[in-house]
Amino acid sequence: MVDADILLIAMVELTEGVRNLIGDKGANAVLRDAGRHSGPRLLESLIGSLPEKYDKEKAVATSCSMLEEFGFAKKVVVEDGSIVVEDDIFSDAVRDEDIASSPIIYFFMGLIEGFVQFMSDDKVTLNQKDISKGKFVFSYS
């Protein structure tokens, strides 16, 4: 069986390869869309369908809880109109010190947007507010 850490490193390197192939803006757009697509698929395969749709705020809060439960980060909370992610799984796998420029951040943003889309009739858009290794802060609307 493949080690989860090795898979994570491979995924981060894959995103860097996409950036090398099509550039920063292209990689960010493609990987964000990939996250938006894979978020609902992941939830559907793990929990099936929801008995009801949530409002946007409840969908955001529930997405944060699920990210923690699935092990994407040790702590994910809604705080002052932002999503705060602490001790994420991606930071250690990114070689570059400037994690904010890594396309994996856009995949993660898309994943959250996809989770919310799965649970709500409302869509949410995340924006980077403060990104550093071990702590991501996104504003959302």
What are the beta bridge partners of residue 84?
77, 137
Residue 69 predicted with pLDDT over 90: yes
- Among 6, 10, 13, CA closest to 27: 13
HSE-CB for 92 with a 13 A CA cutoff: 10
Q: What is the dihedral of CA 72, 82, 56, 54, to 10 degrees?
A: 40
CATH topology of domain 4-140: Muramoyl-pentapeptide Carboxypeptidase; domain 2 (3.30.1380)
What are the extents of the domains in the chain? 4-140
pLDDT tens sequence across 72-120:
999 999 999 999 999 999 988 888 777 888 999 999 999 999 999 999 9
pTM: 0.92
Question: How high is the pLDDT of residue 112?
Answer: 98
